[in-house]
Amino acid sequence: MKRGLAVSVLLALATVNWAQGQNQPDSAGVYWILLRDKGPDIESRIDDIQKELPERTIKRRLKGSTGKAAADEYDLPVYGSYIDLLKPYILKLREESRWLNAVSAVVDRRMIETIEGLEFVTGTRPVSRSNLNSIDYEVTESWTAGAKSEYHPGAAQDYGRSFDQLEQIDVIWAHEQGYHGEGVIICFLDTGFLTYHRAFNQMNIIAAYDFINDDDFVGYDESQDLPGQPNHGTGCLGTIGGYYPGELIGPAFRASFILCKTEDTGSETAAEEDYYVAGLEWGERMGADVASSSLSYSDWYTAEDYDGRTCLTTIAANIAFQKGMILCSSMGNSGPGKFTLGAPADSPYSLGIGAVRWNGELAGFSSWGPTADGRIKPDVCARGVATVAATPFTTDGFGLWNGTSLSCPLAGGATALVVQAHPDWSPSMVKEALLETSDKASHPDIRFGWGVLNVKDAINYPSFSGYLVDEDTHLGISAELSLDEMESRKVHVSISDSSGYFLLANLEYGRYHITIQPAGYLPFEKTIEIPPSEEFDIYLKKVSRD
């Protein structure tokens, strides 16, 4: 018998024995197996795939495109014949990734060299696990909620302790303008979710799947889960989309949600990255506009791998962005210090989210950049210290949590509001608006990135705003301000309010000439460049009576 055939037979027998209840060998591990191609007849199969895509997904994928097709080779499934050929060499198939053209499988490590020698295999990699079980988050205070009221459109909201974390990133203003996430779909990936918590009574959950146990129940199943499995996901989900007036209101509490249970908190095997990729692909295909994940993958990876194109979750994040979905990812909690970020926050397209305190100071645990190729990370920050979250211990429990796990859903919710306000914007435009209007946009660095988010300014981006002020009294002046677009000669007019505040929002890119001729004051003229947004006070001098 040839050696190759003997190995195949032995591995096939091992697979049968393990499936019948035997323990997997000590030498087993979970690996990505990267495949050469997608098989024959690619063009015709892509056409068939495009016909199956939901209309919403097609529309989102084509936003901002320049003639590209809604479907491409990334949408084709893994070639089935290759999977059949692999089966004798693996112990258990776990996931198939269209985007990565790979499968994940439980493999006897002694077979890796043989698998890599197969002509249709381009390589293997260990599947990474997140650092969730290290110092991902901390609950510093918990309490039971008081009475709550139902949501009534147009009514004033009682934000309770969650007011400060929303006000810091100007979500309160967005809510007052009617932006709560309506019409936006958020794909949320985490450990599981106790959806019977009262913070989720009004949440619109349109789909849910447990990628760990391969069923559609994303809560706590005592027959399959260890205690604590849904804790992290429940808290984070409440922070982005919970609604319990007097205690917690999430920034995007009227959005629709796709829930993906992807992180196994009890596993001793470093193997959740594949579930994450599967969840991201599934959510994108169903039409999600935004994805949010408080997971950071670091096992098996080194600082050199965080270059935006090596880690497999990062590659998946890049593809998601190309298909029109923007991803918010926790930077991780390994700070302070350079190169402490994890994947997929290193993606050049996804938003890596850092954590700050109530006063804007960086949280000590918040991971820093830069990436291995020298790019600034994080991208933006939100509150991740004493952040209000839903706690999983009772149906009406809330608490204060620490971690970039909490700043990430705040940023994810903020992103959803910008998408709602500008459904025609491409992911690139959404990202640009968020970065360029954050509080350190003029001097980003590897600790804060572009700084603390400002949803109001992002929705209005690019804009020109400020105050008209009497030079002598320092009181606001109500007057007409004209903004003349110098190339098109289009004129934008704003009248400042009684405080002197003016705002000209969502301007076209270009050079503008400002003209103000208020009665009793000397005229004012200035030329500015948009973008980025401009914001400055204009001091006007009264006409001399001499």
- Are residues 64 and 16 part of one domain? yes
pLDDT grade, residue 66 (50/70/90)? low
Q: Does 381 share its domain with 310?
A: yes
Kindly report the backbone phi and psi dihedral angles of residue 372, in degrees, each rounded to the nearest multiple of 5, phi listed first. -65, -25
Q: How many whole angstroms separate alpha carbon 229 and alpha carbon 223?
A: 12
Is residue 317 domain-resident? yes
Based on the fold, state whether residues 118 and 147 are members of the same structural domain. no
Q: 104 with 227, same domain? A: no
Q: Is the dihedral of CA 50, 54, 56, 61 positive or negative?
A: negative
Is residue 545 included in any domain, yes or no? no
Last residue of a domain, one of 459, 486, 520: 459
| 494: Cα within 13 Å, side-chain hemisphere | 21
Q: Structurally, how many domains does the chain consist of?
A: 3
- Domain with 502, as residue range(s), is 462-540
476 in the same domain as 449: no
β-sheet bridge partners, residue 380: 353
Residue 45, judged by CB atoms within 10 A of its CB (0-12, 13-18, 19+), counts as middle
Mark which of 459, 489, 519 sits at the end of a domain: 459
Summarised one tens digit per residue, pLDDT across range 253-288 is 999 999 999 988 865 455 689 999 999 999 999 999
pLDDT at position 546 is: 61
Contact residues for 412 (Cβ-Cβ < 8 A; gap 6+): 186, 188, 240, 252, 290, 291, 292, 328, 353
- Decide which of 414, 436, 459 is a domain's last residue: 459
- Structure tokens of 114? 């043989």
pLDDT value for 14? 40
Q: Are 442 and 487 contained in the same domain?
A: no
Angle at 195 between CA 189 and CA 162, to 5 degrees: 80
pLDDT at 11 exceeding the cut of 50: no
Q: Mean pLDDT, the chain, as a whole number? A: 91
Asked if residue 323 lies in contact with residue 401, where contact means CB atoms within 8 angstroms, the answer is no
- Reported as a single tens digit per residue, the pLDDT across 229-251 is 999 999 999 999 999 999 999 99
Q: Percentage of the chain with pLDDT > 70? A: 92
Tell me how long the chain is. 546
In a domain, 412, yes or no: yes
Q: Is residue 431 part of a domain?
A: yes
In a domain, 410, yes or no: yes
CATH assignment of the domain containing 499: 2.60.40.10
Please check whether residues 466 and 455 belong to one and the same domain: no
**Residue 85: pLDDT band by 50, 70, 90 thresholds?**
very high
**Does one domain contain both 182 and 282?**
yes
Strand order in the sheet with 351-356: 204-210, 256-261, 185-190, 290-293, 326-330, 351-356, 380-383
Please tell me the pTM assigned to this model: 0.92
User: What pLDDT score was predicted for residue 300?
Assistant: 80
pLDDT value at 217 more than 50 = yes
* Spatial strand order in the sheet of 28-35: 92-97, 102-108, 28-35, 121-126
| 310 located within any domain | yes
Residue 131 counted as domain residue: no
436 and 473 part of one domain: no
Residue pLDDT, tens place only, 33-61: 999 999 999 998 999 999 999 999 999 99
Distance, in Å, from the CA atom of 513 to the CA atom of 216, rounded to the nearest integer, reads: 58
DSSP reduced 3-state for 283: helix
Which amino acid, one-letter code, is at 153?
P
With helix as H, strand as E and coil as C, how does 86-152 read?
Answer: HHHHCCEEEEEECCCCEEEEEEEHHHHHHHHCCCCEEEEEECCCECCCCCCCEEEEEEECCCCCCCC
How far is the C-alpha of 193 from the C-alpha of 200, rounded, in Å?
Answer: 10
pLDDT band at 25 (very low <50, low <70, confident <90, very high): confident
Is residue 211 located within the same domain as residue 297? yes
Q: Are residues 205 and 334 in the same domain?
A: yes
494 sits in which H/E element: strand 491-495
pLDDT at 298: 82
User: Which of 213-217, 223-227, 415-419 shows the lowest per-residue confidence on average (mean pLDDT)?
Assistant: 223-227
Per-residue model confidence (pLDDT) at position 69: 82
Q: What is the pLDDT of residue 3?
A: 33
Q: Is residue 179 part of a domain?
A: yes
Say yes or no: 471 and 342 in one domain: no
Distance CA 505, CA 438 (A): 16
The enclosing domain of 286 has a CATH number of: 3.40.50.200
pLDDT at 5 over 70: no
Which pLDDT band, with edges at 50, 70 and 90, does 415 fall under?
very high
For residue 6, the model assigns a pLDDT of 35
Distances (CA, A) of 252 to 412, 414, 517: 8, 7, 42
